[in-house]
Every structure is written in C-alpha cells, then in structure tokens.
Structure 1
Amino acid sequence: MKKLTLSLGLLLGLSMSSFAQITLSDLPYARPYDKRGLNIFETSKQDSIAYEGIKVRLGGGFAQQFQGLKHSNTATANMQQQGGNEVNLNQLMPIENGFNLASANLNLDVALADGIRLNLVTYLSSRHHSEAWVKGGFIQVDKAEFLNSPLVDKLMEKLTVKVGHMEINYGDAHYRRSDNAHALQNPFVGNYIMDAFTTEIGAEVILQHKGFLAVGSVTGGEIQGGIQNPDQRKPSYIGKLGYDSQLNEDLRVRLTGSVYTTAGSVRNTLYGGDRAGSRYFLVMDPAKIASGVAVTPSTHFTSGHINPGLTNSITAMVINPFIKFRGLELFGNFEQAKGKGRLNGKDEPKDRTWNQIGTDLVYRIGANENLYIAGRYNRVSGTLAPTQAGPTAPIVAGDDISINRMQVGAGWFVTKNILTKVEYVKQNYEGFAAKDIRNGGKFDGFMIEGAISF
C-alpha cells in the first residue's frame, strides 16, 4: 500500500508538470531546508516572493552517521531459557564502531495560490522503517484573497493558518532537532533525551505582530486519526506566547512559553512521536528479549531516549529562551510534564511528574558562520510508570529516576546545503532498580555525521 501511494504521488507529480512549474527555488512563507533555515522558528509574514502561478518545489535530505559508542550496566542478571539455552535478558547488546543506516527525506512544497502553500514530507528511509512512508502534510494559508474581503486581507497580514497532519508547534526545540534526514538545523548529532516531537491532525493559528507571537492549536491528540473508543479520546490544545526581536545588528532575543494539554487519549505520543528513531543505535538495548524476537535497530529505535509513558492524560509546559549575540548562541529548554498512562486498561492511580533541563551553547565562527563549536547539557528526572501483575494484584509504584547527558561537538558547513559534524556524548542512568537493564547504565563515545538538505 505504501509503495502504491508513493507511485501514485510520483504520477501525480508528473501530471502536474504539464501545468505547474517544478523548481528548486524558494517559495514564499516557507522555512528553507538549508543553512538559511538556522534559527528560523515560525515562518515569516514577509511577502518577499511574488506569486507566478502554481509551483512545485522539490527538496530532499540525506544523513549518514559513523558511530563509535560503548555502553555498560550493573543490572542484576535476569536468566531465561530460550531454545534450550539460558540467556541473560539484562545483558546489553554487543556493539562496535561502524556506520549506521542512512536516512533520507523527500520534501514537496507547492504554491497552490497566492499565499497558500502545501507541504508534504516523506521519509524515504529511516531507522524505524526502511521503506518510504509519509511523515505528514498540511496546507498553510498566509493570504485569503479568495474570500474577497478587505477586512480578512488586513487580518491575514498578521495571521497564519495551518490545517492538516502536521508537526505540532509545542515549544521551540522541535525547530532545532534532527528530523530523520533533515539535520542541518541541529548543531549536535542527537536530540534531547525526552524528545517532545510528534505529528497530529488538526488546525493551528499563528499571530505575529511587532515581535510578539501567539499560537493556538486544536488537534485530535494522537499521531493517527481514529474513530473508535470515543469515551477515551479527547482533543489536545496547544498554546504558545512569546517575543522575538532583533534588538540591534548584533543582538537577537527570543523568549517563548508553551503548553500542551489533553484530558484523555487512547495513546498520546507527545514524547513518543519520533517514528524515525534516535541517532544512537542500540545503546542500552538488550542482546535478547523475553519473547525471543531478534533485537534490531528497527525494533529498538528509541535507544538513548526515554518516553515518560504519559499516554492517557498529559499537561506539559516548556519555556524556551534564545539569545544570539554576534556568533554566540544560547538556547534553553526548561520543561515539566504531568499526567497518567493506563494500567491494565484503567487510569493510573495518580499523576506522575517529569522534568527536563536542556541548555545549548553554540559559537559560530567566521564572517559567514560556516564553522561552529557547541556544548549541551541535558537532564531528565521523573517517576516511571507503576506496575501491576494483574487486575486484582497490588499496584507497585514506579521508581524515581534521572538521566543526564553531556554533548560536545563541532561542525562545518561545506556549502549552505552540506554539513559535517562531530560529537562526543556521555550519558548516565541513575535510580533504576537492580532488575532494570538500565541500572547503573552509561554510554559514551563519538559520533560523526554528514548531512545534506536542499
């Protein structure tokens, strides 16, 4: 089905070429995929490119890593018989230096009318799926001349409306992360430990006026649509307020606060929506699992990350300061999430709280800032989900744990479309039970990544 969908999409693209111009040039009200997209958050309201009929912009991305990581733990052995052999389920997967699976993106942006743009991103290859599949697609409206209303035209000078299956606009860190093969906006190789990134179906309105920013969204609250279990499904509401201004030639200041909340969900994925997978392949993953199924980079695609498991109800808040003074950049991510998952089909007995701190310091060198050095500190702490052997068994509270990561790296923009970067990363796991494979866990080593986006 996925191959059929891709084939139909290509045929549609070829048929469009008869009446639409296919281009690699920029489209209005869009964020560039190359180096020019650095430190661009919401798209600008500047009407800088004239509309000259339907245009289809083809773009893409490619990313390849070389991994040199080692990991270890102190977990108590958990022995199980498998195929006549006794295996330790808490033994880590043996790993060595080598190349990770390359990732690739296909980007389609279409200027459908003056101020109306379609965006469609397809993951051609990812850690979780080796075959092509669609990340999401949406329509963005920055002009509404089809309504023939001077009042609406005036309002649309400050408003942007997005409708579709899209990356939600919670916080600012999702603008600086690696999105499968699209990695030029991330100064590091890995994303945050608790990665607030997902796609949901809904609508978003953005107001921008003299540096002030307000965002309001309503979505279905899940990564896919659904009509079953209506008593469990509730909408998600997303809001953001902020200020972003270039105070003078040298200094830019941005500060935003965001909230995401839903009263219920079959399976919310605010912290589990990165279906492309992490950059750190098989770290802290087992050599064997209880089912006997082989452990692969695809089956264990979130290595090095943690999902707090707040899959039912959740309220998350994050504050993101960003300061750029000449070549020096400081970005912060101060986040708290409260909520519940489900336990044997019922709500967990009480809310659990997770906190995350992330601080990025980047210094870009040279007149064109083609070189940079960077450092990041990231810490996550919270309470793991409770466990229960059965519906009538006592509930066992989850452990209070923490994970901290330090990353130091450097990068070189060979051209505006090509980035090579290197990173040293060290991550430690604290507070996990002796029977948990992550007990006393740690990994460290180097990563090298080459990325292309156009």
Structure 2
Amino acid sequence: MRKIYLLAAGLLSMTAANAQVTFGDMQNQISRSKDGINVFDVQKDDREFKGLSVDLGGAFNMDFQAINSFNDQPNSFGEPSNITGYQLMNTENNFVLPAADMTIAAQLFDGVRVNLDIYLASRHHNETYARGGYLQIDKLDFIKKDFLADIMKYATIKIGQMENNYGDAHFKSSDNGSTLRNAFVGNNIMNAFTTEMGIEVYYNRNGLVSMLGATNGNLNQGTQEVMYPAAPGANTVVSPTVLAKLGYDKQLNKDLRVRLTGSLYHNANLGNSNLYSSSRSGFGFWGVLNNKAYNNPIYVNPASTKPSDLHTAPANYNSKSTPEATFDPSFKNWATSYMINPFVKYQGLEFFGTAEFASGGDKAGVDDKRTVTQYAADLVYRFGKKEQFYIGGKYNTVSGKLSNADAKEVTVDRFESSIGWFMTKNIVAKLNYVSQNYKDYSQFSGVQSATNAAYVNNFYGGKFNGLVFEAAISF
C-alpha cells in the first residue's frame, strides 16, 4: 500500500517539477463518473495532444446489508442418518467490508495511452495488487505522421492484461470498488468476467460496432508447464481464447438510442479457471446460504439407512456453497459462449437485456457437451433535470445441468429493484431489494473422493432476500 502512495506522490511531484508534463489531459478515455454510464467498448474524441500527461483516479464503495437466507434442509433427518448440528447461518444487519480501486494512467504520445488498474482493497487478497494494465493505441503517428490515418480514425488497438470485452453486460456491472455504473447491487448470476493477457482490435464507424480479440487463456500468468491429474483425454495445454463482437449502435435522434450486439467467447483447452469463475472481487450479496461448521454423518447412498453405508466426515466439514451466490457452470476441457445484448434508451427510459448461451466440456477428461442458458432484463428510468435520480427493476434467470449425469436441470432466478440518487456526477447512493431463489437442487450433492460420499446441499430449496444500501464514489 505504501508503494502505491509513493508512486502517486512521485507522479504529482513530477508534474510540478516539469512544465512539459500536464495532469489529466487524456485522450479517448471513458469517464469514471456518471458521464461514463452506457458508454460501451471504446470511444474516440478530438482532444488535443498536449504532451506527456498523467492521470490518477479511484473508486470506493460501502454497503449496509440486511439479508436473510433460507433453505429446505431440516436440522436432522432421523436415525440413523442424523446430521448433527447442521444450521444455515444468517447474517447480521451491518456494514460489509468496503472495496477500493485506484487507476493510474498516462498519455504517452498522440493517440497512445497506458492504463494501470489496481485493487487497493478486495476480498480476494489482503494486500494491494494489480487488476491489469494495458496500452491503448488510437493513432499510429509514432510510426509516421498520419500513418494509416484513414483506418485509425475508426480503429483502436488494446494490448495487455485487461478486462476482456466479451458481451456488453460487464459494462453495466460492479467490479470491486467500481460500482457507480451499476444501477443495481448484483451482477448477472452467471457473471462473465475475466482479465487475461491479450489483444483486442476495434473498428467502430457510422453505427457499426466490431471487435476481434485473442488472449493466452490464462487468468494468472506464468510459464510453468500445465499439469492435470491423470484422466482419460485430459488436456495438457492451455489454448488461446478467441473473442469477437459485432453490432449496431446509433443515436437515431435526440431522444432515441438503439444498440444491439452479439459476442463470442471460445477456448478449446481451458486452464484452471474459466470465464465464469475469474472474478476476484465477487459481487454485492455477502455471506448468503452458508452454514456453520458441524460434524456431518454422510453416506454413499443418501436413501440408505444401513450402518455400513454411513461415513462420518471430519470435524468442521461444511456443505459446499459459494460465498457470493453466483452460478459457475464449471466447464472443463473447452468452453464456448454467445451473448446477445439489446439496449434501448428513449429519453430517460432505458432497457438492457442479456441472452447468453454457454456450453463446455462436462468435466475434466470428458468432452461431452453441457449447456447453460441465462436471460436477464433490466428497466431503468432516470429523471430529474440532469437525470440524477433513477428507479429500476431487473429479472435474471439461469438454467442448466451441473453435470450431464444429473436427472434435472437446476434453475437460479433473481429479482432486484433499486432507487438511486447521484448527489454529484461522482457520488451515488442506492437502495436495493433482492430476492434470489434456487430450484431443483438435490438435497445431497457431490462426491468426496476419499469416501465416495454425498454432502448436504445448502442450495436445496435455497433462497435469500433483503435490502442493501450502497454508497459509491468514482473519480
């Protein structure tokens, strides 16, 4: 943390010491304030290059949560298959751990900008760490004055470790301390977010939206050989990820804007993470559907009452659940996802939708296809002289099998409503109601390799609901 402060102080002192260095004169930068809401992909502006310039920004949020969790698991199941001490835990009505980000940027040359994004405080690490850094090239004048100027007037190149541009939903989502652009508190239940080393090339002209990109397929960079547990057909390499987007975005008149895009994500040989398990900051609803530690008699066959079929788990063995209550399809070997996003804004009324179709290898070493679908729609009405107030509602549902061997698909659905007030362009306060439900999850789930035994599933008849008050600052 101290190093970050020293770096910021050094940049500021450099600005003061050298008259040729300015502060905040950035080209083609999407605003981190309210002005950046509904700005997708990249943008071009005609800001004059004034020499080397530096920029320092940040984001911070603070949530007060009042949410309760429920499921259909009884505290015991009758002798001899008691589950001793099982209890689903609720959360206190209190503040949760705040999150904070920092952005350090520099305009290095006419049409060339660098960005360094930092998580100052997040749930994934105790220490400050880099979220990513990338170079954005909007002109090639560093090669030769006006080199390919007719093309670069509409094209942009991004290179580095960055948030990869799959779909449009991530532009309206929360990311650690950066939650100002999200009208709600939660992201999509199946949250597509990853930061990988790669390149993206954009060409946007007269309403055309297009992007083609590729990454090395790794969330956590390294040169070590990939080693997987022995399994028939298991992958021993990680393939590049291919990204693509094509669409239309046009302000038809002063009142009406229409946007429609389709996006592709594909990886033929996945590493140890995937598109839906790569968020390091989670999202807005904390500690839901968790249980206290307990001594759990579990068994090979949940329907059996034979003593020979009983196995006792170690002390403090917990049921499996995800602390952020997202849905991760856990694809292995390969994965392909398509996302379609319509966006319509008429005066203060906004509609944004997501239709997502994800498929991948069923499990490690097995290439059989498994598919999960997601639909989401939100409606937001912004009002006031500067649209500083808003009210909105969002519905989101995800359905799919956790394994091809399962008899049924599971479904997770959520409803959110939110009211918000932008006190300034950089400060928003929002009050959010959430209700999330889990359907067709089995009472017992999973297999322990050591005992070949099932465990109690917290998502069986699971649901949580309540209120979250969030205050967010971004500059």
In the alignment, structure 1 residue 247 sits paired with structure 2 residue 252: yes
TM-superposed CA distance for 1:190, in Å, is 1.0
Contact kept in structure 2, 1:384 and 1:398, CA below 8 Å: no
SS at match of 2:142: helix
Distance 1:235 1:302, change over 3 A: farther
In the alignment, structure 1 residue 200 sits paired with structure 2 residue 199: no
Superposed counterparts of 1:221-236, under 5 Å: 221-227=217-223, 228-229=225-226, 231-236=236-241
Letter paired with 2:353: G
TM-superposed CA distance for 1:319, in Å, is 0.3
Q: Deviations over 1:145-192 (max 9, x none)?
A: 011164512211111000000001000000000111111110001111
Letter paired with 1:444: N
Among 364, 373, 383, the alignment partner of 1:365 is 383
Tell me which residue corresponds to 1:284: 289
* 1-structure distance, mates of 2:4, 2:463: 41
* 1-structure distance, mates of 2:316, 2:27: 49
Tell me which residue corresponds to 2:169: 173
Letter paired with 2:143: L
Letter paired with 1:183: T
Tell me which residue corresponds to 2:371: 353
Q: Deviations over 1:364-400 (max 9, x none)?
A: 01221000000000000011036xxxxxxxxx54751
Number of residue pairs matched?
A: 429
Distance 1:225 1:128, change over 3 A: closer
Tell me which residue corresponds to 1:36: 35
* Mean Cα deviation higher: 3-12 or 102-111: 3-12
Q: Deviations over 1:257-302 (max 9, x none)?
A: 000001012223211111012211111122227666799xxx9874
Tell me which residue corresponds to 1:130: 126
* 1-structure distance, mates of 2:316, 2:55: 42
Tell me which residue corresponds to 1:303: 324
Tell me which residue corresponds to 2:232: none
SS at match of 1:145: coil
TM-superposed CA distance for 1:426, in Å, is 0.3
Contact kept in structure 2, 1:213 and 1:243, CA below 8 Å: yes
SS at match of 1:122: strand
Distance 1:76 1:233, change over 3 A: farther
Tell me which residue corresponds to 1:453: 474
* 1-structure distance, mates of 2:329, 2:91: 26
TM-score by length of structure 1 reads 0.89
* 1-structure distance, mates of 2:419, 2:337: 32
Tell me which residue corresponds to 2:269: 264
Distance 1:267 1:4, change over 3 A: farther
Q: Deviations over 1:69-95 (max 9, x none)?
A: 01111136689xxxxxx7545x32231
Among 427, 436, 443, the alignment partner of 1:434 is 443
* 2-structure distance, mates of 1:415, 1:43: 24
Contact kept in structure 2, 1:268 and 1:312, CA below 8 Å: no
TM-superposed CA distance for 1:448, in Å, is 0.4
Tell me which residue corresponds to 2:360: 339
Tell me which residue corresponds to 1:155: 151
* 1-structure distance, mates of 2:369, 2:91: 37
Letter paired with 1:362: V
* 1-structure distance, mates of 2:100, 2:314: 31
Contact kept in structure 2, 1:94 and 1:287, CA below 8 Å: no
Contact kept in structure 1, 2:170 and 2:193, CA below 8 Å: yes
Tell me which residue corresponds to 2:300: none
In the alignment, structure 1 residue 425 sits paired with structure 2 residue 434: yes
Distance 1:67 1:223, change over 3 A: same
Contact kept in structure 1, 2:342 and 2:352, CA below 8 Å: yes
* 1-structure distance, mates of 2:220, 2:394: 33
Distance 1:291 1:171, change over 3 A: farther
Contact kept in structure 2, 1:201 and 1:224, CA below 8 Å: no
TM-superposed CA distance for 1:245, in Å, is 0.3
* Mean Cα deviation higher: 106-115 or 159-168: 106-115
* 2-structure distance, mates of 1:45, 1:291: 58
Contact kept in structure 2, 1:278 and 1:301, CA below 8 Å: no
Contact kept in structure 1, 2:289 and 2:321, CA below 8 Å: no
Contact kept in structure 1, 2:185 and 2:283, CA below 8 Å: no
Letter paired with 1:63: N
TM-superposed CA distance for 1:446, in Å, is 0.6
What residue ranges of structure 2 are gaps of 5+ in the alignment? 78-82, 227-234, 295-312, 445-456
Once the two structures are aligned, what percentage of the paired residues are identical?
A: 39
* 2-structure distance, mates of 1:434, 1:221: 35
What residue ranges of structure 1 are gaps of 5+ in the alignment? 80-85, 387-395
**Aligned residues: CA RMSD:** 2.5
* 1-structure distance, mates of 2:267, 2:276: 14
Q: Larger radius of gyration, structure 1 or 2?
A: 2
Tell me which residue corresponds to 1:27: 26
Q: Deviations over 1:305-341 (max 9, x none)?
A: 1111014310000100000000000000000100025
Letter paired with 1:68: A
* 1-structure distance, mates of 2:382, 2:96: 28
SS at match of 2:88: coil
Tell me which residue corresponds to 1:323: 344
Contact kept in structure 1, 2:109 and 2:142, CA below 8 Å: no
TM-score by length of structure 2 reads 0.85
* 2-structure distance, mates of 1:356, 1:183: 22
Contact kept in structure 2, 1:87 and 1:288, CA below 8 Å: no
SS at match of 2:327: coil
Contact kept in structure 1, 2:22 and 2:51, CA below 8 Å: no
Letter paired with 2:383: I
* 2-structure distance, mates of 1:336, 1:365: 34
* Mean Cα deviation higher: 187-196 or 221-230: 221-230
